[in-house]
Amino acid sequence: MTKKTAIVTGITGQDGSYLSELLLQSNYTVIACRRRSSTNNLERVTHLLDDPNFILTEFDLTDPSGVYQTIQKYQPDEFYNLAAQSHVGTSFKQPSTTFEINTVGVTNILEGIRHYSPHTKLYQASTSEMFGRNYSTETDGKRYQNEKTEMLPQSPYGIAKLAAHNMVEIYRSGYNLFACCGILFNHESPRRGENFVTQKIVKWIKDYIASGKSPDFPKLKLGNLAAHRDWGHAKDYVRAMWMMLQQETPKDYVIATGETHSVQEFLDLAFKSVQLNPEDHVEIDPDLFRPAEVEYLCGDPTFANNDLGWNPQVSFEGLIQDMLGS
């Protein structure tokens, strides 16, 4: 098997770490890109640092000259852009920074590939948040989002991601680059960041149990429990990313489980699995509600199922158990 080289941005995050593992197992050299930090943020990839095929390098996708130099130096077979300001709530507080990273940064990558490595196949991480409050409806009334659903984002994060998504299409059609987007619905794992609601719930449970279930332990503060999301496991979703770049023709795909669950359902199931009642421990905090909320997301992965042969392997219940470590 010919050894391939892949640049992966965002390797300090959940998806970057799982994708790096998958690529290394598949005989790739991984150019692992991360932004310089004064603190150690490599905990998710510590186990990979001694692998000679895992090459850690400093990279900031908002710096065009640095992006160009990295692409020109490594001439990668594949480029997976997983770097982003990835938190919806934060995007309302930092809209300009979110746009600079999530849109302008992607344009820098596209320009770098176009000028210095046009054979490189690009995967761009798009998001279900681009659909916002919009959805399609089947004849039986079931609501869903797929590749044909009109996008109507409800946050600076969603808008920035949609702009990048459209930019990829321009470079694909205008410059004949192999560039595609995975429209990923929510995906979680034990490596999920603590500012995401699923990990916030799981971490609280673990910390509460570790305290000996102290009566003085602070309550879990949450916002909108009625919001519905299509939750899958990150390991399944990085496999879809890789499969997209093994195709002969670049296409965009919705990657989802096809099921939707409310935050309340996630909360109830997680608490039930450790014999706790959320009503005794949860407090609703109005400050945690977003200025504009996406109430309902349920992806239709039929195209990915049929065209890629991809199917998720971890159930909603299995995801929660894995995050809890049980």
Measure the CA–CA gap between 260 and 262, rounded to whole angstroms: 7
Catalytic residue of the set 21, 70, 120, 129: 129
129 is catalytic: yes
Phi, psi of 7 (to 5 degrees): -90, 130
127 is catalytic: yes
Look-up of token digits 């790096």: 20
What is the number of other CB atoms lying within 10 angstroms of the CB of residue 326? 8
Catalytic residue of the set 123, 157, 171, 296: 157
Measure the CA–CA gap between 109 and 6, rounded to whole angstroms: 14
Residue 61 burial (C-beta neighbours within 10 Å; 0-12, 13-18, 19+): buried
Catalytic residue of the set 70, 120, 127, 257: 127
Residues acting as catalytic residues = 127, 129, 157
